[in-house]
Amino acid sequence: MKSTRKHIVILATVAVAGSLLSFTAPMANAADKDGVTSSRSFPKVNQTKKDLLAESTSVSVESSSKWSLGTMSVPKTKSTAEQAAEQAAQERAEAAAAAAAEAAEQSAAASRSETRSESTSTASASASATATTVSASSSAVVSYANQFVGISPYVYGGTSPTTGWDCSGFTQYVFAHFGISLPRTSGAQASVGTAVASLADAQPGDLIANSTHVGIYAGGGMVVNALKPSVGTAYSSVATSFTGGYSIRRVL
């Protein structure tokens, strides 16, 4: 009887032990599926650290390398606001340059206009001065000729106030002083300048000439002339100095 009970206890123990074993195996499998690491499935932690250090060493930069961040060219992208600001600044600069060019052109045009105006004024003043000089010379010619009266002798063919001159030499010398060139002979001088209709219209400084004699009209029917050797340079009337016809010529 005791032996039978002992066998029953042993069987029960074995059965319990088998149940426990059958329960433990699924638990291990479930643990594996849930990510529990066992010494059979994963490498040692120390080995993993060694590998990480080795990889870190493999990407290190050698001290002798010439690589530098400064040599890299990285394009910079501008924002819309920056691009708009640059465009506006460029437009302002172009507008300012155009305005400066236009102002310079206007200034140059004004300068040219002023220069033309000054030139016109100068020319007008010069013409006026010339007209005044010519007008004054009508009397100046007679005044200049007067200094030789009673001093310079008459010499046929002469042209000098000191050694003597003839009638056309005298008139040629006087008018040359005023920049007017006359022909050498009295007949040639009778056709220069502008003809005056009559003695009533003659003015001091006009030439009165024919083929044989020439003098300078002094006004009042008188001429100043190199008349003849016995008289020399003197005043005489037109009627006395000229026999026959004569021509009145205005050369001033």
Q: Residue 164 in contact with residue 158, Cβ under 8 Å? A: yes
225 in catalytic set: yes
Rounded Cα distance between 201 and 223, Å, is 15
213 in catalytic set: yes
Rounded Cα distance between 102 and 108, Å, is 10
177 in catalytic set: no
Rounded Cα distance between 145 and 153, Å, is 13
**Which one is catalytic: 7, 29, 46, 167?**
167
Cβ of 146: how many Cβ atoms within 10 Å? 15
Residues in the chain: 252
**Which one is catalytic: 7, 46, 210, 225?**
225
Contacts of 63 (CB under 8 A, 6+ apart): none
Residue 57, phi then psi, degrees to nearest 5: -65, -35
Rounded Cα distance between 226 and 173, Å, is 12
Listed residue (201, 225, 205, 197) closest to 135, CA to CA: 205
Residues marked as catalytic: 167, 213, 225
